[in-house]
Amino acid sequence: MAIGRRHFVRNTSLALGAALLSHKSTLATASFDARIEVLLNEELGTISPNIYGHFAENLGAVIYDGVWVGENSKIANVGGIRKNLVDALRKISSPVIRWPGGCFADSYDWKDGIGPTAKRPRRTNFWASDPLVRDQGNIPQKYDPNEFGTNEFVQFCKLTGSQPYLAANVRSLPSVDFYRWVEYCNSPAGSTTLADQRAAAGGKEPFNVRYWGIGNESWGCGGEMTPGEYATEFRRYAAWVPQFGMDLSFIASGPNDAEYKWTRGFFEGMLQKGSNALNRIWGLSLHYYSWNLSRGRTQNWDAGKGDAVKFEPVEWYELMREADKLESLIEGHWQVMNEFDAKRRIKLVVDEWGPWYKPGSEVAPAHILEQMITQRDAVMSGLTLDIFNRNPDKVTMANCAQLMNCLNSLFLASGDRFVTTPVYHVFQMYAAHQGAQAVRTEFLSPSITYDRDGQPANFWSLKGSASLRGKDLTLTVVNPDVGQPKEAEINLLGAEASSGRATILAASDIHAHNTFDNPNEVHARTESWSPTGRTPKFTFAPASVTLLQLKLA
């Protein structure tokens, strides 16, 4: 629908080029709703495949009843790991998985999870006091059997073609335990007692784990530290770690959303030992959850949350607004980091992101923090992945929180039941961006106007990202408008299209979700589309995520 053309907005903070400005006047008289300018010659950087990473914490049913079903289970498994999960992750080219936490990491002793399974100690899980599991029996969510340990996790990664990213315990284990975990994983076959123990459990060759998080949320569950205190701990843990012939990439525990004080305080603390201290940091983590749907009424963590499934359009837009803030947070933390790291070597690792709703939509008891995933979460996830694609110079890794039976799950499982969520389809569609060259793309479109509790509010109506691999252009676009399709002219600056393909994730009901009984309610469909020339057109469905793959002449 050609609506509100007098109020075309530019969906970018970047200055308009003169050439683009000249198009603005033509939009007012155009027969389409929006224009997408793909500046094929303006490269932004290579999109790290790792921004399509995952996070699987030993929390609720992410591992037990999720990833791990056990070797003797009747549920199809590969060495105890749920088989349909492995198969599905391979299809989306899963690049990296973070484990064991999250908050759980800073209570975990990795030595509990090695050696013969029957001899491993049973422990109280960090999350055991959550009301969902507190009053239940000896379930793994409460009394952890440690069946899923380092070897099992690394095997899970191998089966799915992913790199392991281990988060080390800084709050409750000394640094020697961190060095020994590195030794267990990476020392050459036969070289150390720990390498022998690894081999006895089926891991003769070193695991070569490259990514190591030094703690998690050290400002909170990871130790309640000040940034200066954490900088001291980081230096200590990262000093003199055995390398075993490979470069280890240390990820420092970073800020939560807009906590710029943490970022600045951490770097200042690091520099107290001189600028060489910065060389030990490969990435700075950033956590950002979109949780406050109260439209400014409260900042209370519980009161601000909304329902996962029952929501009005205003809460749909509120989630989009919250999620959209991530781009300015990335920019803000990046600016602070650049004050200390002029060469811009240290990158951001957004190793927890996703929506977070009120409890109540769990598919089974004890599935702590599990929530039903709707089309709203798919659109929010597309919006987020586009932010990462647009910032390849700043973000080197991101991990969706969390893989299954949790917050922004790609999968829900309970016993032998298993289903992929709408977010899974988004990851499948966006996989085409992995490792490609991001190119600048500008979206000119009328903003959506809606009623925000009696006040008129605006939100952008089309946004996305583009990347190029040889002659293959991948363009992903989100239309967050709950009611209106958007017809756009795609202006290929510097090339012509010869053919193309469209894949669309749309649902007639914005609350649509996949369940065990109805697993295909939301699924991606391909549509015939034959783009040619410099200015092909496409109509983006309401409340949708679209993948356009164009072959350039």
Among 306, 256, 247, residue whose Cα is nearest residue 282: 247
Taking the complex as a whole, the smallest distance from the CB of residue 402 to ligand AHR amounts, in Å, to 6
Least distance (Å) between residue 59 CB and ligand AHR:
6
Q: Which of 147, 152, 217, 322 is catalytic?
A: 217
Pair 478, 376: CB distance under 8 Å: no
Token output for 176: 């020697």
Minimum distance from residue 403 beta carbon to ligand AHR (Å):
11
Query: Which residue, 203 or 255, is less far from ligand AHR as judged by CB?
Result: 255
CB of 426 to ligand AHR, least distance (A): 19
Which helix (H) or strand (E) element contains residue 155? helix 150-160
* DSSP designation for 541: P
Catalytic annotation present for 339: no
Query: Minimum Å distance from CB 269 to ligand AHR?
Result: 21
Sign for the pseudo-dihedral over CA of 420, 423, 428, 431: negative
Distance CA 225, CA 245 (A): 33
User: How close are the terminal C-alpha atoms of the chain, in Å?
Assistant: 30
Q: Measured at the alpha carbon of residue 295, what is the angle toward residues 263 and 410, in degrees to the nearest 5?
A: 65
The smaller minimum CB distance to ligand AHR, of residues 412 and 438, is found at 412
Nearest CB to ligand AHR, comparing residues 39 and 401: 401
Identify which of 448, 479, 288 has the alpha carbon closest to the alpha carbon of residue 376. Answer: 479
Helix, strand, coil abundance in the chain, percent, nearest 5:
30, 25, 45
What are the tokens at 123? 């422990």
The structure tokens listed for 396 are: 């080197």
Q: Of residues 37, 233, 318, 352, which has the active-site annotation?
A: 352
352 vs 386 by CB, closer to ligand AHR: 352
Cα 243 from Cα 186, distance rounded (Å): 8
Phi, psi of 153 (to 5 degrees): -65, -45
- Closest approach of ligand AHR to the CB of residue 18, in Å: 45
**Residue ranges binding ligand AHR (CB under 6 A):** 57, 101-103, 216-217, 352, 369, 401-402, 407
Pick between residue 48 and residue 402 the one whose CB is nearest to ligand AHR: 402
Q: Are 100 and 68 in contact (CB under 8 A)?
A: no
In the residue annotation, 217 being an active-site residue is answered as: yes
Q: Which is nearer to ligand AHR, 57 or 152 (CB)?
A: 57
- 305 is written with which tokens? 């949350």
CB of 216 to ligand AHR, least distance (A): 5
Give the residue nearest to ligand AHR (CB): 102
Q: How many CA atoms lie within 13 A of 238 on its CB side?
A: 28
State the DSSP H helix or E strand holding residue 252, giving kind and residue range, or none if neither. Answer: strand 249-252
Strand, helix or coil for residue 229: helix
Copy the structure tokens of residue 518: 């109805």
Q: How far is CA 82 from the centre of its chain?
A: 21
Closer residue to ligand AHR, CB minimum distance, 213 or 531: 213
With respect to ligand AHR, which residue has the nearer C-beta, 103 or 270? Answer: 103
What's the angle, vertex CA 113, arms to CA 109 and CA 118, rounded to 5?
A: 135
Catalytic positions:
217, 352
